[in-house]
Chain A
Amino acid sequence: MSQVKKFLYVNRKAPYGTIYALESLEVVLIGAAFDQDVSLAFIDDGVFQLAKGQDTKGLGVKNFSPTYRALGDYGVTKLYVEKEALAERGLSEDDLMPVTYEDENDGFAEKPSLIFVDRAEMARVMAEQDVILSF
């Protein structure tokens, strides 16, 4: 398995109402060990996964939102977020938690992992992929 493929995980679902967001993240973490070119896309209700201030204590389920912030440590540094999806839901970029990574090729400078793109750019990102996983 020497070839490197472009893997895109497409997130279109909100967290907690169903398990898809959490189990998708579990695939991303395992997949990171395979040294592929990995990106995540957040469109439609998927943008809710990145909302600031998630607190699940009252539900008795695990708050997995901190895991997104740890993705950089796994070498997953490209999280594409669609601007139209945010706007349609009354959200702005400031409503999302900051996700960053340390760039080992640039003196471990801290850089943002969230890449805000419009719908047309998102469509192009999707079109470039070899493998698209949706859950």
Chain B
Amino acid sequence: MLEIRNLNAWYGESHILHGTNMDVPEGRVVSLLGRNGAGKTTTMRSIMGLMDRTSGTLNYKGDNLLNLRPDQIARKGIALCPEDRCIFPSLTVTENLFLPPIIAKGGMDIEEIHTLFPNIRERAASRGTDLSGGEQQMLAIARILRTGARLLLLDEPTEGLAPVIVQQISRTIARIKEHGYSILLVEQNAHFVEGLADVHYLIENGMIVDRLEGTEFARQISRVEKLLGL
């Protein structure tokens, strides 16, 4: 579905990604693990066309995404749930939820979203920033499920959340996976992705240093945690 080959990316003069290679197959959950500053978010931003400069190949369903604008990339069926959640403070929960346009058929309808995230129904009229961190994360995920995008880029969805909320997010991602979505999941929390992802990539200094199948991951987890500095 998404093939990344020899991806390089820059912020101004700073060279962040150095020839990244990875694949996100259709209907699979792929994790990208690494320390702070390893290049995880930059990989996401490069896929969405949000970097100053990129080179290499970003092949999505036969189209090269490189040099497309972010809105054109989104309309190919890719949606980003950013690290900071980006809930708009001047908008209500409902306005935040309906902000992204429908780009293809097959997105979740509002009833399915309310079933998956009951809090969103209850807090519909609240300002987005009045929500708790967990609720904001749910809203940020719900927002992209409506659009019909089939590849979801989730950037550290558990960051700063209490363990009980992290479990809730984990169950939610598992249910989203059951709906057939492809997910690229950026994380620093190896235990969070352990049961969720089918394939794991480890990134360090802007380069992929290892690729582990889901079955192999449990055996290698101490090595992964060492790489993550845990």
The reply to whether chain A is a binding partner of chain B is no
Instruction: Give chain B's interface residues, CB within 8 Å of chain A.
Output: none
